[in-house]
């Protein structure tokens, strides 16, 4: 018989944790901002951590052995004992999306860039196969550990509300790819650079690796 609460947490605690993972201050967002928030949040929620992140607290994202790890400890505090290569400083926002400030010398870390590129290609592939973006949202990611599952559900609720506010809840995956490509070309044109080529992504990549 499968237990509804395999972590063994009391009902009051679960309800309190669930309430803490619900989005507040959800706002209407542009297509580009929605996709950026979605991808960034999926990246961070793919990381290993065994604590409940709080909004407004600084966290640090590391990469080692093909896995991501979220930590309260900065690279300076870790010193030579850091759990991996540092990617950037991140923060959980009140709407349950995440912000990420990348390290300044990211271009000097080809391994990090390759891992990010693989994740992004998987994101693009998943988006292209979806009938609508809301179908991809992790309202209940059963494979995730407890806190990551709660935060994923909070993220899904937040993005679903933002999609509705922007009138984009019925847009297909291919329409979203078109919006993404248009935004990329606009940025390239503004910088007077040749347009970025569209991805030819590999099969979908799992955003939530098994623990």
Question: For the segment 18-31, what is each residue's pLDDT rounded down to a tens digit?
Answer: 887 899 889 999 98
Mean pLDDT across the stretch 173-179? 82
| Residue 203 pLDDT exceeds 60 | no
Q: State residue 61 phi and psi, 5-degree precision.
A: -105, 130
CA distance 141 to 43: 15
Contact present, 102 and 36 (Cβ < 8 Å)? no
pTM (predicted TM-score): 0.81
| Strand ranges, E, within the chain | 58-64, 67-71, 85-92, 98-102
């Amino acid at each position: 018989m499968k237990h509804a609460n395999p972590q063994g947490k009391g009902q009051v605690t679960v309800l309190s944790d669930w309430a803490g993972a619900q989005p507040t201050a959800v706002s209407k967002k542009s297509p580009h901002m929605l996709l950026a928030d979605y991808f960034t949040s999926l990246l961070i929620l793919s990381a290993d951590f065994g604590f409940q992140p709080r909004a407004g607290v600084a966290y640090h994202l590391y990469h080692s052995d093909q896995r991501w790890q979220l930590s309260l400890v900065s690279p300076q505090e870790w010193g030579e004992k850091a759990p991996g290569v540092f990617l950037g400083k991140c923060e959980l926002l009140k709407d349950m999306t995440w912000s990420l400030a990348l390290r300044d010398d990211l271009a000097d870390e080809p391994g990090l860039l390759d891992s990010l590129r693989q994740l992004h290609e998987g994101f693009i592939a998943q988006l292209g196969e979806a009938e609508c973006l809301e179908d991809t949202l992790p309202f209940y990611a059963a494979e995730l550990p407890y806190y990551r599952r709660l935060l994923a559900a909070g993220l899904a609720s937040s993005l679903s509300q933002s999609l509705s506010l922007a009138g984009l809840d019925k847009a297909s995956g291919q329409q979203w790819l078109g919006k993404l490509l248009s935004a990329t070309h606009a940025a390239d044109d503004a910088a007077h650079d040749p347009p970025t080529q569209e991805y030819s992504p590999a099969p979908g990549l799992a955003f939530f690796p098994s623990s």
